Structure 1
Amino acid sequence: MATLQARHKVTTSPRKSEPATTVHKLFTTAIDKRQHLLDEDTNALRLFDGIGDGMPDVFLETFAGRWLIATRDSRMSRDVKDFLEESAKTVYWKRLDDHQKEDPKHLCGPEQNETFLARESGLNYHISFQSGYSQGIFLDQRENRKRVREFSQPGQRILNTFAYTGAFSVAAAAAGATTTTLDLSQPYLDWAKDNLSANGIDPSEHYFCKGDTFHWLKRFARQGRTFHGIILDPPTFSRDDKGKVFRVERDYHRLAELAASCLEPGGWILASTNIRKMTLQEFIQEASRRLPKNAQITPLHMPEEYPGEQYLKSLWITLP
């Protein structure tokens, strides 16, 4: 895959600093609690989850031994930086800013300027610290990917909408299903093909669609093209090429209804959103508003390594 190189000057501040021994203990305790999840099949995981591990607005993830620290503060305490430097790991820093979506900045350790592979549940994914705000996989969907793999079977057709780099497609294809990967971005579709190839799966045996999910779902319905499973994980806000706005809190029901029209009898939908201003019950009501009354809806939990804010809402919807 093509990579971009970027170098940034990182500044730190001693303000809001906690005792170093406390910071060190919080990090080591959190990391130790997750050791049972790390093995030869999984080396990409959240290691520290903000308030859930005792330090608000600080999040640490590992990708094949490279660390990504994320903070909501534009400055990092000296004690946090000391812990990261002592780790001797490659560490990049991402600031969680709603307005500025920039590459992570190199903080300490060897630089990682090339795309590399990380593993989750025995599957490989290309990771990049130089390709924008997201690194190639959303780790909070770990359990959902395992579920998609479990419920996908050889000969089935699985549609992955808003697919980003196609991680759900990899999970379904690894189970033998034929996948259709749909996204607005051609670079992300190419990334998805690379992810399939990284797992010994021939991308030419799967389908890739570039464009708007609403447009493609309507087109599939007109063509009578159906799927045994559909993944819906849209952004909380988007605008199509005609200027029409989509908001999860008011429009998700339209998306779910369109997906249901393309579903095989007995098929499933994984409906997901990371919107924070909706409760789980509100999301259930919105997503199911136009679904058949006998649809079975099962709320899914976030992975155990996320003891903090339960922001990710996921539903497993089965239609008769």
Structure 2
Amino acid sequence: MNNTYRLLDSGNFEKLEQVGPFRIIRPSPQAVWKPSQTKLWNKVDAHFKRFAGGDGKWDINNPGLKKPIMIEYGGLNLQLEITDFGHLGLFPEQRMNWQRIRNLCHDGTRNGEEFNVLNLFAYTGGSSLAAAQGGAHVAHVDASKTSVAWARLNADVNNLTQAPIRWLTDDVQKFVAREIRRNKLYKGIILDPPSFGRGTAGETWKIEENLIELLESLKSILHSEFSFFLL
């Protein structure tokens, strides 16, 4: 299939990926071993190289990669594109979580009650869309306007434009504090925090400094009969 994502090989601190019809190489610091399919690496459409300071650059051999790429993956249609940071708009390891979220939300809505899910650091929306497919009411929160707009595009291509999803460009910690004051409760909470980030007003997020405080705050908006908490 040429319209999906596959990890083809990894090694030498990089990974070789098939993204729709394109074959690309990106950094993978955990891949300390040697590649097992060396011939597959010889001809690629793009290669993202990370510099010592953390920045990087794409070497693009196929101009088709300068346009959005549509794939089917994990029960979702997704619009991907290469970014200046070496991202695609997809964390493929989340595929199994999407199915779990979808199933748990489906189970939670069987009795006809409203099933509220909060997705923090929600990026391009894979988990939010999976929850919506399961029938949940979703609050999708990310500090990046670009990511929230991208997630809404993904909702469109999955026929979820009218789904009960609140698209919120906001600082996660400030949003949670407001939800506590509103006495809002969620039966499902999802968060996939970055190691470092900035809020909508330039607030700094450092996982080693802020995660525990955030988790403590989330206790106050987690329903007593909650279904899942995914970190």
- Name the TM-score, length of structure 2 as normaliser: 0.81
Aligned-partner SS, 1:126: strand
* Residue 195 (structure 2) aligned to one of 233, 236, 249: 236
The separation in 2 between residues aligned to 1:135 and 1:214, in whole angstroms, is 26
Show structure 2 runs of 5+ residues with no match: 30-36
**1:157-306 map, 5 Å:** 157-203=116-162, 205-240=164-199, 245-267=204-226, 268-271=228-231
Please tell me whether the aligned partners of residues 72 and 96 of structure 1 are also in contact (alpha carbons under 8 angstroms).
no
Asked if structure 1 preserves the Cα contact closer than 8 Å seen for 2:77 and 2:154, the reply is yes
Question: What is the distance in 2 between the residues matched to 1:49 and 1:152?
Answer: 34
In 2, the alpha carbon distance for the partners of 1:179 and 1:197 equals 15
1:264 aligned counterpart, secondary structure? coil
Secondary structure in 2 matching 1:180: strand
SS for the counterpart of 1:235 is coil
CA contact (8 A) 1:193 1:203 kept: no
TM-score, normalization by structure 1: 0.60
> What CA deviation, in whole Å up to 9, does each residue of 1:165-195 have, x standing for no partner?
1111111111121211101111211111111
The superposition leaves residues 86-142 of structure 1 with CA deviations (integer Å, 9 ceiling, x where unpaired) of 5xxx621112346344453313x5632211211112211110024643111111222
Alignment of 1:115 with 2:68, yes or no, is yes
1:59-138 to 2 correspondences below 5 Å: 59-71=15-27, 83-86=40-43, 91-97=45-51, 99-102=53-56, 104-107=58-61, 109=62, 111-130=64-83, 132-138=85-91
SS in 2 for 1:135: coil
In structure 1, how many angstroms separate the alpha carbons of the residues matched to 2:197 and 2:80? 25
Contact (CA 8 Å) 2:115, 2:186: kept in 1 or not? yes
Deviation of the 1:212 alpha carbon: 0.6
Aligned residues: 217
1:156 aligned to 2:110?
A: no
> What is the CA RMSD across the aligned residues, in angstroms?
2.8
Structure 2 partner of 1:47: 8
One-letter code of the match for 2:82? F
SS at match of 1:163: coil
Please give the alpha-carbon distance, in whole angstroms, between the structure 2 residues aligned to 1:236 and 1:111: 32
Partner of 1:143: 96
Q: Is the 8 A contact 1:113 1:130 kept in 2?
A: no
Task: Select between 208-217 and 241-250 the one with higher mean Cα deviation.
Answer: 241-250
Amino acid at match of 2:22: R
Q: Secondary structure at the match of 2:87?
A: coil
Change (3 A) 1:132 1:248: closer
Tell me if structure 2 keeps the 8 A contact 1:117–1:125.
yes
CA distance in 2, matches of 1:70, 1:255: 31
Distance in 1 (CA, whole Å) between partners of 2:220 and 2:119 is 15
